[in-house]
Amino acid sequence: MKKYTRQTKILELISKSEVETQEELAEALKNMGIDVTQATISRDIKELRLVKVMAKSGKYKYATISQSQEGITDRLNKIFENSVVSIDNAMNMIIIKTIPGAAQICASAIDYMGIDEIVGTLAGDDNVFVAVRKMEQVDHVLQEFKKNIR
């Protein structure tokens, strides 16, 4: 079994079920016909940069870093939704007006959205400037923002 295939299966397992221990992970892989040692599992966990996060059940489970940040992203999206006053654009720049003092956290929320077309954000006190890679991508980025402010 190639490492890539094994690690792909590990990612599938942790995304579909709450895997709490390396032993559970090894057992689940064995049930899939993949025989591994605990040392191999440990190396894979390090290489995949898996972390333990609290599940809704209150127990700790393995997750990818992006899964562990879902709670942060949800909170940032709520703050974004409640802080944006208006959105406008000029050429490839999007200007977001926020309530006073909220621009920095809104810029962080935009960064966490992971929109590929965005080159970067710059925040003041109540304004966020968003640089979009190409002018023809601005409409797509605006739609993404509007999804988050309903």
Are 4 and 44 contacting, i.e. CB atoms less than 8 angstroms apart?
no
Alpha-carbon span 58 to 54, nearest angstrom: 6
- Rounded to the nearest angstrom, the gap between the alpha carbon of residue 3 and the centroid of all alpha carbons in its chain is 25
| pLDDT in the model for residue 85 | 96
pLDDT the model gives residue 150: 65
Query: In terms of domains, do 98 and 30 share one?
Result: no
* Domain endpoint, select from 28, 49, 68: 68
Q: Are residues 105 and 133 in the same domain?
A: yes
Q: What is the CATH number of the domain that holds 117?
A: 3.30.1360.40
35 and 80: one domain?
A: no
Token code pair at residue 97: 């007006």
Burial of 106 (C-beta count, 10 Å sphere; 0-12/13-18/19+): buried
Question: Same domain for 78 and 138?
Answer: yes
Where is the domain boundary, 68, 96, 125?
68
Domain co-membership, 140 together with 80: yes
Burial pattern 66-89, b for ≥16 Cβ within 10 A else e, equals ebbeeeeeeebbebbeebbeebeb
Give 118's strand partners: 132
Along the 150 residues of the chain, how does pLDDT read in single tens digits?
A: 688 899 999 999 998 999 999 999 999 999 999 999 999 999 999 999 888 888 888 889 998 876 556 566 778 888 999 999 999 999 999 999 999 999 999 999 998 888 999 999 999 999 999 999 999 999 999 999 988 786
Please check whether residues 137 and 77 belong to one and the same domain: yes
CATH of the domain at 53: 1.10.10.10
Same domain, 21 and 77: no
Give the Cα separation of 29 and 87 in Å (integer): 48
Residues 96 and 133 in one domain: yes
What's the total number of domains in the chain? 2
Domain around 118: 70-149
Please tell me the predicted confidence (pLDDT) of residue 41. 94
Q: Are residues 21 and 45 part of one domain?
A: yes
Q: Are residues 131 and 77 in the same domain?
A: yes
What is the pLDDT at residue 54? 83
Q: Final residue of a domain: which of 11, 33, 68?
A: 68
Q: At what angle do helices 70-83 and 103-113 cross, to 10 degrees?
A: 130
